[in-house]
C-alpha cells in the first residue's frame, strides 16, 4: 500500500471527508477545484473526497515556503500528493507552475484566499484563480465548500480530532468574456459562500 493510500484511508477514517455533489457531478473533465481555507487538513479533505480516478490526476497547489521548508514536508508535497509548489513572493511568475500543470492536462486544487481563515465563510479571493481561468477557458472552475476542518485540526494541533468533515461541490463556472478580475473573483467568492450558506444560514433579522 502506498503512502498516498494510507493518507487517504486515515483521512476518511478520522474525519470522514464526505463528498456532496450539489451542482456538479464527478467528471473526467479538466478542472480547477477552488475552496475556502481554514486548516492544513483542507488539501487532504478535498483530495480524499474525490473519486479515486480523479484523485490520480488532481494536484493540490501549495506554498513552497511552507511545504518546501524541509525534506519531510517536501517529500509529502511532491512525492505523495504530487503538489504544485508556488513561490508566493514571485509575483506573476508564481503562477507559471500552475500553467505548466494545466498544459500537462492535470486538474488542480487551489485555495484563493491565500491564507487560512477560521471563519465559517470565505474571505476575499486573490488573483491566483482569475488568471488560470482566463488563460485556460476550457478548464472548468468548480467551487467547493469545505466544512468543519478548523474543528478537525485546530491551529496549533498536529493530530486531527475525530470530527465529521464534508466537501460540497458546486456548479462549474468560467471567466466570462470581458469579465474583470474584480468581478470574477467576487462571483467566485459568492459561489463558495452560497455553498457554505446551505450549511450555515444567516440568522433571521426578526
Predicted confidence (pLDDT) per residue in 31-77, tens digit: 999 999 988 788 888 988 999 899 999 999 988 988 888 998 899 88
Residue 202: predicted pLDDT: 61
The pTM (predicted TM-score) of the whole model is 0.86
Gap between the Cα atoms of 45 and 23, Å rounded: 19
Residue 165: predicted pLDDT: 79
Residue 196: predicted pLDDT: 92
Residue 179: predicted pLDDT: 96
Question: Lowest-pLDDT range, 1-15, 76-90, 168-182?
Answer: 1-15
Query: Would you list the domain boundaries of the chain?
Result: 18-151+163-196
Q: Name the DSSP letter for residue 18.
A: E
The alpha-helical segments, DSSP class H, found in the chain are: 3-15, 42-49, 52-55, 64-67, 71-75, 96-103, 130-135, 149-152, 181-197
Predicted confidence (pLDDT) per residue in 157-190, tens digit: 444 444 567 899 999 999 999 999 999 999 999 9
Cell of 10: 486515515
Amino acid at each position: 500500500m502506498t503512502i498516498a493510500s494510507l493518507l487517504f484511508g486515515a483521512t476518511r477514517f478520522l474525519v470522514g471527508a464526505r463528498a456532496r455533489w450539489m451542482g456538479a457531478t464527478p467528471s473526467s473533465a479538466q478542472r480547477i477545484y477552488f475552496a475556502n481555507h481554514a486548516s492544513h487538513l483542507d488539501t487532504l479533505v478535498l483530495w480524499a473526497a474525490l473519486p479515486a480516478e480523479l484523485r490520480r490526476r488532481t494536484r493540490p497547489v501549495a506554498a513552497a515556503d511552507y511545504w518546501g521548508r524541509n525534506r519531510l514536508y517536501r517529500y509529502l508535497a511532491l512525492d505523495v500528493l504530487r503538489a504544485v509548489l508556488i513561490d508566493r513572493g514571485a509575483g506573476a511568475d508564481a503562477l507559471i507552475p500552475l500553467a505548466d500543470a494545466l498544459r500537462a492536462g492535470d486538474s488542480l486544487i487551489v485555495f484563493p484566499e491565500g491564507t487560512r481563515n477560521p471563519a465559517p465563510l470565505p474571505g476575499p479571493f486573490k488573483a491566483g484563480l482569475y488568471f488560470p481561468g482566463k488563460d485556460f477557458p476550457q478548464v472548468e472552475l468548480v467551487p467547493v465548500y469545505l466544512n468543519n476542518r478548523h474543528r478537525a485540526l485546530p491551529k496549533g494541533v498536529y493530530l486531527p480530532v475525530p470530527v465529521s468533515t464534508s466537501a460540497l461541490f458546486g456548479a462549474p463556472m468560467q471567466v466570462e468574456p470581458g469579465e474583470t478580475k474584480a468581478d470574477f473573483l467576487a462571483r467566485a467568492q459568492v459561489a463558495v459562500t452560497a455553498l457554505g450558506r446551505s450549511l450555515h444560514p444567516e440568522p433571521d433579522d426578526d
